[in-house]
């Protein structure tokens, strides 16, 4: 479902991603952990072209690009392969919860209003927020906002869902409800990449775990092996700092 080859990104004179290679099979859940500034967000952003890499290639779902030359058409097909859930929700403040979920379906995918609404209500039901459909984002808690953002991401039936620290902005008591929803998404076998600092959660939901540091993949292994038998000093230090 995802094949990243020799991906490199430089901002100014800082190389933020060095020759990244990563392959993810359909239905797999891969968690990326690593210190601040290690390039985790930049890597996710290269998968939906919020950031354009300097070198390398990406296959995602039914689309492929070879950096840095990208036609408008390639950008569009690439963007349609994935949906992203951000730390700060990125909901449309001026739209109701329901309209946040139907927006892309109606404007980008040309669904009828009625079909889009029906799909939105099903998804809101799945995330436990069917009764909030007519409210606005400012009337919700952070955990509720993030659950709406997840419903919105799922609405377009993406081939891949990307989570960038989905619980980092939440008060501790709201983290669990969001992790619970992410867990149910992952169980549906949607290919997922999750950037998170919630290591216990990573251990629970991931098929594989990647540690990034300084723009490189330091360690990449199946979840049990990663946590129980880390191979690299850097991974051991990182895990020790969190335990």
Ligand X SMILES: Nc1ncnc2c1ncn2[C@@H]1O[C@H](COP(=O)(O)OP(=O)(O)OP(=O)(O)O)[C@@H](O)[C@H]1O
- Under the binding rule (CB under 6 A), the answer on residue 48 touching ligand X is no
Q: Answer yes or no: are the C-beta atoms of 233 and 224 closer than 8 Å.
A: no
Collapsing DSSP to helix, strand or coil, 108 comes out as: coil
142: exposed, middle or buried (Cβ count in 10 Å: 0-12, 13-18, 19+): middle
The least distance separating ligand X from the CB of residue 212, rounded to whole angstroms, comes to 7
Handedness of CA 169, 221, 49, 62 (dihedral sign): negative
- Residue 115 to residue 81: CA distance in whole angstroms: 21
Q: Quote the least distance from Cβ 65 to ligand X, whole Å.
A: 19
Judge contact between 104 and 156, C-beta under 8 A.
yes
Stretch that binds ligand X, among 21-29, 34-42, 98-106, 112-120 (CB under 6 A): 34-42
Q: How many residues bind Mg ion (CB under 5 A)?
A: 1
Between CA 64 and CA 58 the distance in angstroms is 6
Binder to ligand X among 1, 16, 154, 162 (CB under 6 A)? 16
The binding track of 23-62 with respect to Mg ion, each residue x by CB under 5 A or -, is ------------------x---------------------
Q: What is the smallest separation between the CB atom of 39 and Mg ion, expressed in angstroms? A: 8
Q: Which helix (H) or strand (E) holds 5?
A: strand 2-11
Binders of ligand X among residues 186 to 215 (CB under 6 A) are none
Interface contacts to Mg ion, rule CB under 5 A: 41
Interface contacts to ligand X, rule CB under 6 A: 11, 16, 34, 36-42
């Amino acid at each position: 479902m995802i094949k990243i080859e020799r991906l490199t990104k430089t901002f100014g004179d800082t190389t933020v991603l060095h020759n990244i290679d990563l392959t993810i099979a359909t239905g797999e859940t891969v968690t990326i952990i690593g210190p601040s500034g290690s390039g985790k967000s930049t890597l996710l952003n290269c998968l939906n072209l919020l950031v354009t890499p300097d070198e390398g290639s990406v296959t995602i779902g039914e689309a492929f690009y070879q950096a840095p030359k990208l036609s408008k058409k390639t950008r569009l097909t690439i963007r349609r392969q994935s949906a992203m859930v951000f730390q700060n929700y990125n909901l449309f403040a001026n739209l109701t919860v329901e309209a946040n979920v139907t927006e892309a379906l109606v404007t980008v995918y040309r669904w009828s209003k009625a079909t889009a609404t029906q799909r939105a209500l099903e998804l809101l039901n799945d995330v436990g927020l069917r009764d909030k459909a007519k409210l606005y984002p400012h009337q919700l808690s952070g955990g509720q906002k993030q659950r709406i953002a997840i419903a919105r991401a799922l609405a377009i039936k993406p081939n891949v869902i990307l989570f960038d620290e989905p619980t980092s902005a939440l008060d501790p008591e709201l983290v669990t409800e969001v992790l619970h929803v992410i867990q149910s998404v992952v169980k549906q076998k949607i290919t997922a990449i999750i950037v998170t600092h919630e290591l216990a959660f990573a251990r629970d939901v991931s098929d594989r775990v990647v540690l990034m540091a300084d723009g490189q993949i330091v360690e990449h292994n199946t979840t049990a092996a990663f946590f129980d038998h880390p191979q690299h000093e850097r991974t051991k230090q990182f895990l020790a700092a969190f335990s």
